[in-house]
Structures are given as C-alpha cells and as structure tokens.
C-alpha cells in the first residue's frame, strides 16, 4: 500500500505545484507606491457611500466570473471581487476628483470596505479603478497622509 502511495505522491505534488503557480489562479494585492505617484490619474481622501459586490452578485445569479477591459481576467478569491464603490471625495490631493465618484477596487479584495469607511484613493490611469489605503490601517494611513502633505481631517 505504501509503495502505491509513494508512486502517486510525486506526480500529485507536481500537478498541485503547477496549478498553484499558474497566472489564472494568481491574485495579487496592489498597494500604492511613493516612487510612482505620477502614474495615478488622481489621489484623494474619501468616504465610501456605496458598495456593489459584483462577483458575489454574479455567483448568486449563476453568472461567470467577470472580465474587465482594463484589468483583464479577474479571479474571484472570496466571492466578492470584483467590487465597485461609490465614494464621496472629501479632499483632493492631486488630479481631478470632486463630488461623488464610481470606482472599481483594483487587485484582490480580501478585506472589503463598509459604508462610511474612509481611505486615501489612488486612482489608476483610465479613472475607473483604484488602490486604497484604508483608515483602519492607522499606521499606513497616517504615513500616507504625512507623505502626501495632507493635514489630518476627521470628516
């Protein structure tokens, strides 16, 4: 019995490793970079006023995973991605941003925001996807406010 298990263990491990390393299964968290701030079309502090769980909705309706024209194939990691936000712009830091905007979260969405959550939004070129540093991560949030020269405002 052990000889049979040993004979199949190596191929099974090889297949599992190959599958896990395939790009289709990859999901990466995207974080803003201080060295590439010029690549963002706008940066602002805002509050979430609405959330659309597109991936979760698709699963409930039996629809396939989404493909975004800008981001390509989107793998669903927790049943929520892709997710779109409606955000009230509280303070523009750079680029055009005012009023309320609709944005799609870029990258993996392991921790989804709640309505009223505040963050620093780094809008990717094209203006429809964003990378966010959420206020709940106090260290990163305060660090980015200081790095961007933004006075603390609790709105």
pLDDT of 68-100, one tens digit each? 667 665 555 555 567 899 999 999 999 999 999
Does some domain include residue 9?
no
Does some domain include residue 19?
no
Pairing of strands 100-105, 129-134: parallel
32 or 44, which is more confident:
44
pLDDT of 54-74, one tens digit each? 877 877 887 766 666 676 655
Of the spans 6-10, 16-20, 55-59, 143-147, which averages the highest pLDDT?
A: 143-147
Q: How many CB atoms lie within 10 A of CB 88?
A: 17
Q: What is the mean pLDDT of residues 41-50?
A: 96
Rg (CA), the chain: 19
Residue 101 maps to which CATH number? 2.40.50
Does some domain include residue 152?
no
What global pTM score does this model have?
Answer: 0.73
Number of domains in the chain: 1
Q: Which of 16-25, 76-85, 103-112, 142-151 has the lowest mean pLDDT?
A: 16-25
Does some domain include residue 94?
yes
Does some domain include residue 3?
no
């Amino acid at each position: 019995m052990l000889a049979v298990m040993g004979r199949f263990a190596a191929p099974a491990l090889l297949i599992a490793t190959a599958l896990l390393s395939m790009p289709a299964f990859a999901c990466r968290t995207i974080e803003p970079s201080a060295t590439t701030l010029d690549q963002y079309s706008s940066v602002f502090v805002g509050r979430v006023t609405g959330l659309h769980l597109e991936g979760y909705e698709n699963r409930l309706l039996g629809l396939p995973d989404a493909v975004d024209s800008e981001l390509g194939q989107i793998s669903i990691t927790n049943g929520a991605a892709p997710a779109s936000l409606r955000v009230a712009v509280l303070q523009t830091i750079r680029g055009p941003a005012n009023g309320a905007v609709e944005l799609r979260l870029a990258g993996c969405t392991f921790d989804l925001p709640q309505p009223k959550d505040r963050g620093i939004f780094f809008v990717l070129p094209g203006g429809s996807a964003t990378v966010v540093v959420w206020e709940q991560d106090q260290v990163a949030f305060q660090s980015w406010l200081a790095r961007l020269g933004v006075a603390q405002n609790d709105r």
